[in-house]
Structure 1
Amino acid sequence: MATTRTAQTILTEMREFAGFSPCEQRYIRRSLDVGLARHDAFRRWARGPAEAASIRTQYVIYQDLKLLRSLLQSDGESGEGPGLEDLETVMGPLLRVTTFDLAQGRIECFSAYRFLYERLLGAEVRPWLPGAFCGAAALPHIRPDRRKELLQSISEAAATAPAWSMCAPRFFPEFVEMEEVA
C-alpha cells in the first residue's frame, strides 16, 4: 500500500513538472544541481559567459540554503518549526534567495517556485513559501510587468492555506542527455 502511494506521489510530481514551460524545467534542474551540489552546474548548464556569471552568483546566493535548512528543521521536542521570533532569521535569507530566482526571469509562476523550493529546502518550507514569493515578487528587483504576472499566479487557495502537507517531495528532476534518450 505504501509503495503504491509513493508511486502515485512520484507520478503526480512528474506530471506537475511536465506542465511547466521548458524554460522553467531547465531552470529548476539547474537550480537543483547548484542547490543540492548534484553536478558541476557550470559545465552542464552554462551556454555562455552571461549564464556562467548567473550560475556563479547563484552558487553564492544559494549559500543561504544551508542556514535555511538548519532553521527549518523541526524542533524535536515541540515538533514545530520556526516561530514568530524566527521571522527575520528565516524570511531574510529566504526572501534574498527567492528574489534572486525570480529576478532571473525563468520562474513564471508560484507552482514552479514552490516545486523548486520544496526540493531545495524540504517540506518544512511550505508554510513560508507564499509570503516569500509575494514579498520577493513585489520588490523593485522584479520588472513591473513580471511583478504582475508573478503575483497573479498564486492562487487564493495557496495564499490562504489553513495547513500544509509535511510529506517530503519524491521526484527530483535531473538533466538528461539527448543522446542517452536515443
Structure 2
Amino acid sequence: MATTGNASMTINEMREFASFEACEQRYIKRSLDIGLGRQDAFRVWGRSAEECAAIRAQYVVYHELKWLRDNLPAEGRIDGLDSFIGKLTRVAAFDLGQERIASFSAFRFLYERLLGAEARPWLPSAFCAASALPQIRPERRKMLLQSLSEAAATAPGWSDRAPAFYPEYVEQAEAA
C-alpha cells in the first residue's frame, strides 16, 4: 500500500512539473544540477557565453544552500531567523531575477528539492520578500506576487514528506 501511495505522489509531482512553462522546467533542472551537484552545468546547460556567465553566477550564489540546509530554524522560534531568511531571500532573489521562474508553484517545487521538505514553511515568506525587492522589474514583481495563492500564504501546516521526483536533463528532449 505504501508503494502505491508513493507512486501516486511521484506521479502528482511529475504532473505538477509538466504544468510549468518550458523555460521554468529547464531552469529547475539546471538549478538542481548546480544546487545538488548532480552534473557539470557548464557542459550540460551552457549553450552560449551569456548562459555560461549566468551558470557561473548561480554556482556562486548557490554556495549558500549548504548553510541554509544546515541552519533551518525551528518553527515558532525566532533565534537565527534573520540570518536564515536573509540568506534564503538573497538566493531566491537571484533565481527570480533570472526571469525563468514565473510562479510560486515553480519556486516552491525547486526549493523543496534544493533545501528539503523542512524548508516548506519558510518558502512563502522568502518568495514574497524576494519578489518585492526593487531588483525585480515592477510588472514581473506584480505577476510573481499574484501567483502566491491565499491558501499557500496562510497554510496552517506543511507536509514533511520529502519530494520524490527530481527532474533531470534528457538529451533528446532538451535538444528539440
Matches within 5 A, 1:143-182: 143-178=137-172
Name the amino acid aligned to 1:118. E
- Residue in 1 that maps onto 2:104: 110
The equivalent residue for 2:39 is 39
Percent identity over the alignment? 63
1:52 aligns to 2:52 (yes or no): yes
Residue type matched to 2:40 in 1?
D
**Map of 1:77 onto structure 2:** none
Q: Give the 4+ runs in structure 1 shifted more than 6 A.
A: none
Matched, 1:22 2:19: no
Per the alignment, residue 11 of structure 1 pairs with 11
TM-superposed deviation, 1:95 = 0.4
How has the CA–CA distance of structure 1 residues 174 and 155 changed in structure 2, closer, same or farther, with 3 Å as cutoff?
same
Q: Does 1:128 align with 2:128?
A: no
Cα offsets for 1:18-47 (capped at 9, x unmatched) = 000000000000000000000000011111
Report the counterpart of residue 65 of structure 1 in structure 2. Answer: 65
Equivalent residue, structure 1, for 2:79 = 85
Q: Take 1:153 and 1:50, find their aligned partners in 2: how far apart are those partners?
A: 28
Taking structure 1 as the reference length, what is the TM-score of the superposition? Answer: 0.93
Structure 1, gaps ≥5 residues long: 75-79
How many correspondences in the alignment?
A: 175
Q: Partner letter of residue 56 of structure 1?
A: R
Task: Give the CA deviation at 1:114.
Answer: 0.0
Q: Structure 2 counterpart of 1:90, which letter? A: F
State the alpha-carbon separation in 1 of the partners of residues 109 and 142 from structure 2.
20
Following superposition, the deviation at residue 81 of structure 1 comes to 5.2
The alignment's TM-score, normalised by the length of structure 2, stands at 0.96
Q: Deviations over 1:80-132 (max 9, x none)?
A: 45821121121011001000000000000000000000000000110000000
Unaligned segments of structure 2, at least 5 residues: none
Distance 2:85 2:58 in 1: 18
| CA 1:58–1:179: 2 relative to 1, 3 Å | closer
